[in-house]
Amino acid sequence: MICFTEHHLKDYKLANTHTPNYTLGANYCRKNLKQGGVCIYVHESLIFSNINLLKYSKEQDIEIAATQLNIHRRKVIIICIYKAPCGNFEYFNKLEIILNSLYKDNTEFIIRGDININYLEPNNKKIN
């Protein structure tokens, strides 16, 4: 009932994309660089609200979009995130600030994304 994706589209092209039975719930589109960008489509049977995270997004480093669903007195925040392989990992760490700003006692998170960190290689860029 929710679809997340990295879309590679500019905002005007994404706005003209139609997905039957789904509504564009939230998105981030790059202004300068090619590709990238994320979006969340929500099934038309669900009630949602867009969470504006534009101030946290930075091309390549952290591209993020979020929607909120209210389901049975619970708040469910859906987050789609992308970090390019060449993205600045230090800037990507703003994810913790974002999650803390959205968290409430009755909040559940669904986080989906492509953060381009190889957990099989030894490095200090792993989130514990």
Q: Across residues 75-79, what is the average pLDDT? A: 94
The CATH classification of domain 2-114, taken from the options 3.60.10.10, 3.40.50.10860, 3.90.1210.10, 2.40.128.20: 3.60.10.10
Domain residue spans of the chain: 2-114
Q: What is the pTM of this model?
A: 0.84
Question: 110: pLDDT confidence band, cut at 50, 70 and 90?
Answer: very high
Percent of the chain whose predicted confidence (pLDDT) is above 70: 92
The 3 state secondary structure assigned to the chain is: CEEEEECCCCHHHHHCCCCCCEEEEEEECCCCCCCCCEEEEEECCCCEEEECCHHHCECCCEEEEEEEEEECCEEEEEEEEECCCCCCHHHHCCHHHHHHHHCCCCEEEEEEEECCCCCCCCCCCCCC
